Each structure stands twice: as structure tokens, then as C-alpha cells.
Amino acid sequence: MQPDYHDETSSCLRASELLGRIANKWTLLIVRELGTGPKRFNLLRRDIGDISQKMLSSTLKSLERDGIVIRDVTPTMPPQVEYSLTALGRDMKAPVEALASWAIQNADTIDAARKRFDMHNHG
């Protein structure tokens, strides 16, 4: 049924396509937050920090579509919606965390490199 994604050429193309959707700031931050357990919308929003509600809801919808996140609605008043990782999402957690912690650990180094580069180019 599906086109065969398993020859090397098209798998590379698909890798590039998938990375386009997966490898973005909000996706990684959300997966990272949900990696510590289920969270509700506004808590997620607060914990991520500087994400707008639009981006949070649209990114969550994409992640739900991709089978990475589960949306669990408790129809109370007011309604409660809890987001959590699927098995696929939990599987994604490790690589995401690896990249995130690399970024954190090397923040200073990168910052210094930037300053050096800008000094050369500016001054």
C-alpha cells in the first residue's frame, strides 16, 4: 500500500522531511517537559516559559497527529486536559534529552565562540 520508504535514497529524503517537523525548538521543549510526566496545558505553558498559547496548542496538535503525544480530556467543569507521551514519544525522549543537555552544557562555549566571531567581523 505505502510507497517503499526502505531504499536508501528515499529514506534520506524522508529523514530530511521528518527532521523538518521534529527538529524544531517547540517540539523538543515540549517532549522534554512531558518526559517528566503528564502535564496540563497551562502548567506546560508555564514550565516551558516563553511559548505562546497558539504555538503550544498547534505544536501539541502536530505531536498528537504524529503519535508522539496523547491528549486526555476529563470533561469536568472547568475541563481538564492532560498531555502525556505515547510509547513512541517516550522512545523519542532519550535523543531529545541528549541534544538538549548538549546544548545546555555547551552554552558557554558557543557563546564565547560567537563573541570571538563577531569581534573579528565587526572590529
Partner DNA sequence: CTGAATCCCCACGGATACTG
Partner DNA sequence: CAGTATCCGTGGGGATTCAG
Which residues lie near a second copy (CB under 8 A)? 2, 5, 11-16, 18-20, 22-25, 27-29, 48-50, 64-68, 88, 91-92, 94-96, 98-100, 102-104, 106-114, 116-118
Integer Cα distance of 52 and 7 in angstroms: 40
Cell numbers for 15, please give them. 529523514
For DNA, which stretch binds (CB under 7 A), given 7-15, 37-45, 90-98, 105-113? 37-45
Per CB under 7 A, 16 contacts DNA: no
Task: Name, in order, each residue with C-beta under 8 angstroms of 107's C-beta and a sequence gap of 6 or more.
Answer: none
CB of residue 8 to DNA, shortest distance in Å? 21
Q: Which does 13 bind (CB under 5 to 8 A by kind): DNA, a second copy, none?
A: a second copy
Q: Tell me, what DSSP letter sits at residue 81?
A: E
Nearest CA among 36, 35, 72, 29 for reference residue 51: 29
